[in-house]
Structure 1
């Protein structure tokens, strides 16, 4: 499938601070999946979108948590949210929603219908 001007506009990340930051459209997709702050507790003081941007920064760059840029939330805050979201299954839900959106944006079925396994992969699977 050839890239069209519409595809290029949708994939353009030049206006973002970091290429891993969420666009407004991506944030609109995933924001409903993140639980609101608990009632009765202290109000949430951190911008959850920035926390998610920090998680995506670590995942996309492979940097250490301690190497997060200073304009993102503190590493302890980001790690706490990441570990909670991992435990609750939020990370898996976020991945699924973004995965489906990217496939549909590319004009593909939401779920792949074909899998290709080469002979090397099949041999490795049998051994271990």
Structure 2
């Protein structure tokens, strides 16, 4: 095992959460297969390092497995739905730990346009005239705690209401308990009628006050805006570099997974410990 030296590396507590959620290695199945050449934890650490630091796949540090190996596992796990299972299981644990039901009844949806690198082909990029961005658009659905339920990446040239139909259809299939979706005015109009008629989902739009100037915190919508800020802390997501939109969706989900494992394994401090930390800070500033 390699020495854990990067901030993005999994802790023992995080790995204890993730390891049981990964698929069984082929060599341990009845059909058999070759033993894996590299430990699963090193594969996961390699993916997290790339997402956190925004490096190229080929620039993977030498103490990780070869970049092709890390990329191959990331592609296969994403295609097999493993990443979605991990995301959903971690989200349910966080909700239960907070005294909430494991499944949310209402969610918030939003989109974000980002510039695309030269590695992104013309077939999967477009021009967002409103934001003046040539690239891709990310569509995100989160629960009322800001935890990710679903991610979809499209060209930036499409209006939010167009991919929203497919996004909401996927949501209805995988989360039939959801009945209310909060959104901005871009998801209004005919989409509201369509969602209610075919999916039995009520879309409630939150509009900006007409007399507001500058930045305004909008009810409900601030939840998904905060989720975007969490995801954008991972430098890989400041721009879209992936040739395949599916890979972009996977790496965004990995950023959400890292946030959730960190939250679940965060050591809780007592009020006395917090006072001691604050007192030490005051003393150091005075000195």
**Residue 228 of structure 2 aligns with which residue?**
none
Alpha-carbon RMSD? 2.8
**Residue 43 of structure 1 aligns with which residue?**
35
> How far apart are 1:104 and its partner, in Å?
5.8
- Kindly tell me: are residues 52 and 62 of structure 1, through their superposed partners in 2, closer, same or farther at Cα, counting changes over 3 Å? same
Q: Which one has the largest radius of gyration?
A: 2
Among residues 56, 59, 63, which one is paired with 1:67 in the alignment?
A: 59
User: For the residues of structure 1 that align with 2:50 and 2:8, how far apart are their CA atoms?
Assistant: 9
User: For the residues of structure 2 that align with 1:112 and 1:70, how far apart are their CA atoms?
Assistant: 42
**Residue 6 of structure 1 aligns with which residue?**
none
Equivalenced residue count is: 110
> How far apart are 1:95 and its partner, in Å?
2.1
- Kindly tell me: are residues 98 and 116 of structure 1, through their superposed partners in 2, closer, same or farther at Cα, counting changes over 3 Å? closer
> How far apart are 1:122 and its partner, in Å?
1.0
Structure whose residues are more often helix by fraction: 1
User: For the residues of structure 2 that align with 1:71 and 1:104, how far apart are their CA atoms?
Assistant: 37
User: For the residues of structure 1 that align with 2:26 and 2:109, how far apart are their CA atoms?
Assistant: 45
Are residues 1:88 and 2:83 paired? Answer: no
- Kindly tell me: are residues 103 and 60 of structure 1, through their superposed partners in 2, closer, same or farther at Cα, counting changes over 3 Å? farther
Q: Structure 1: state its 5+ residue gaps.
A: 1-15
**Residue 76 of structure 1 aligns with which residue?**
68
TM-score by length of 2: 0.33
